[in-house]
Chains A and B, each alone.
Chain A
Amino acid sequence: EVQLVESGGGLVQPGGSLRLSCVGSGFRFSSYWMTWVRQAPGKGLEWVAYIKEDGSEKYYVDSVKGRFTISRDNAKSSLYLQMNSLRAGDTASYYCARVVSGAIFGDNLDVWGQGTTVTVSS
């Protein structure tokens, strides 16, 4: 079964740091771009960051640039999101997702984890 499982969420004070992890199973992790998407309570989906199969390319939404770092360890089938200088506005459920890439069909997110919740509050 193809699966993604996130962990690492929790309560953190403003200005603090947190590292999210996502472990993939049931597929060749190293063959896929991967992404993080977040959802603030009661709000819509926001694409956060995106990393190439080998980690050589990374992209971020402007609101997290310079504060968040996406990385991966293909030997461990793991994706990470290092979040620094956290703000109340970063409070959300964070989902990792597998990206199916194609020049004809574009990119889509075909497998999602269950999400991990990050709460930034004093």
Chain B
Amino acid sequence: DIQMTQSPSSLSASVGDRVTITCRASQSVRSYLNWYQQKPGKAPKLLIYAVSTLQSGVPSRFSGTGSGTDFTLTISSLQPEDLATYYCQQSNSVPYTFGQGTKLESK
């Protein structure tokens, strides 16, 4: 199975900050890398698929880059509604494993 490792596990930031979350795969997942946002008590929401394609309705302050084994999710200017936990997920091979999550908190 492909292991997905996110860093950091938690992050404190202020409104307006630029925030970057990284995700590393134990082997290449090519460009089959998705990002999800989950708020407490809610289902996850698809943010970005195929590394860098924003899901419909997702604000443009979110962006994704990377290929192969190393990926990043960036929020260009953090907004209060962005405080959540973020997960990367590979869909290169079954099982479609998730990272352990990065909890984004208010500083």
Is the beta-carbon distance between B32 and A106 smaller than 8 angstroms? yes
A45-B36, A47-B97, A50-B96 as given contacts; A108 in contact with B43, CB under 8 Å: no
Q: What is the CA–CA distance of A100 and B96 in the complex, to the nearest angstrom?
A: 13
Report whether B95 and A61 are in contact in the complex, using a CB–CB cutoff of 8 Å.
yes
Does A112 make an interface contact (CB < 8 A)?
yes
Q: Total interface residues on B, using CB and 8 Å?
A: 28
Q: Is the interface of B mostly helix, strand, loop or mixed?
A: loop
Given A105-B50, A106-B32, A44-B87 contact (CB < 8 Å): yes
Q: A106-B32, A108-B91, A109-B34 are contacts. A44–B100 as well, Cβ < 8 Å?
A: yes
Nearest-neighbor residue (CB-CB) of A115 within chain B:
B43
- Cβ contact within 8 Å between B91 and A95: no
- On B, residues with C-beta under 8 Å from A are 1, 30-34, 36, 38, 43-46, 49-50, 53, 55, 87, 89, 91-92, 94-101
